[in-house]
């Protein structure tokens, strides 16, 4: 891959980006980065087909509340209902609910919309829903797969703080990464540093 990085960026971030890109180039950055790199160089139709395929972890169905559902769409609907019931602070409208179901049924998705349409709340509910879905492990005759882990990333510190607030509102025990100086005062109690001070174990 030919990549040009901005030389005015701080050196630590630049070095981390270079190291990450080298891992992607060598195919050693994990399955997600390999998938994204492969889809970037495919023909448009092949890339679209790969992105819309069922996520690997749901190839044998999905567990919701300990019950195996062979129909992924049914599993996602049940997980979304459970996530909605867990919070009274946000009930998605039909198009938002459909966006969440659509996004969770494919490997890569993009939800976009103008300001004020509820994208942050949809993202929080999407994450809350995904945490209620567990794949069936092929190698263990369909046993429950591992608890999913989600890394939510935002384009700015302010956006990360807003997303954290939305995640907490829907009952996701999220932790905010980043230097405490860049985190809003309201979100500081959920930083890694603050959590290790209150829960040293």
Give the pLDDT confidence of 14-57 residue by residue, as tens digits: 677 788 888 877 878 877 777 777 777 777 777 777 778 888 77
Grade residue 101 by pLDDT with cuts at 50, 70 and 90. Answer: very high
Q: Are 50 and 31 in contact (CB under 8 A)?
A: no
Amino acid 29: pLDDT: 80
pTM over the 0.85 mark: no
**String of b and e for 113-149 (b: at least 16 CB within 10 Å)?**
eeeeebbebbbbbbbbbbbbbbbbeeeeeeeebeeee
Who wins on pLDDT, 5 or 84? 84
Stretch among 36-45, 80-89, 90-99 having the lowest mean pLDDT? 36-45
Report for 104-108, 141-145, 180-184: range of highest mean pLDDT: 104-108
Q: Which tokens is 42 given?
A: 């495919």
Grade residue 98 by pLDDT with cuts at 50, 70 and 90. Answer: very high
Grade residue 163 by pLDDT with cuts at 50, 70 and 90. Answer: very high
Q: State the number of CA atoms in the 13 A half-sphere of 119 facing the CB.
A: 9
Mean pLDDT of the chain: 82
Closest CA to 148 of 162, 135, 163: 135
Amino acid 13: pLDDT: 67
Rounded to 5, what percent of the chain is helix, strand, coil? 55, 5, 40
């Amino acid at each position: 891959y030919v990549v040009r990085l901005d030389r005015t960026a701080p050196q630590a971030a630049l070095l981390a980006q270079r190291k990450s890109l080298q891992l992607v180039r060598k195919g050693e950055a994990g399955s997600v980065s390999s998938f994204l790199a492969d889809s970037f160089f495919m023909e448009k139709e092949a890339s679209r087909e790969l992105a819309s395929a069922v996520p690997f972890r749901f190839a044998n169905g999905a567990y919701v509340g300990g019950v195996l559902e062979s129909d992924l769409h049914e599993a996602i609907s049940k997980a979304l209902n459970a996530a909605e019931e867990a919070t009274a602070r946000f009930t998605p409208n039909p198009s938002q609910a459909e966006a969440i179901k659509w996004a969770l049924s494919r490997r890569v998705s993009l939800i976009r919309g103008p300001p004020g349409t509820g994208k942050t709340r949809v993202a929080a509910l999407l994450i809350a829903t995904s945490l209620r879905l567990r794949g069936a492990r092929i190698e263990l005759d369909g046993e429950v797969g591992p608890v999913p882990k989600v890394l939510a990333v935002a384009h700015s510190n302010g956006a990360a703080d807003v997303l954290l607030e939305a995640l907490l509102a829907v009952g996701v025990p999220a932790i905010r990464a980043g230097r405490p100086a860049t985190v809003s005062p309201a979100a500081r109690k959920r930083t890694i540093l603050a959590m290790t001070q209150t829960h040293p174990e």
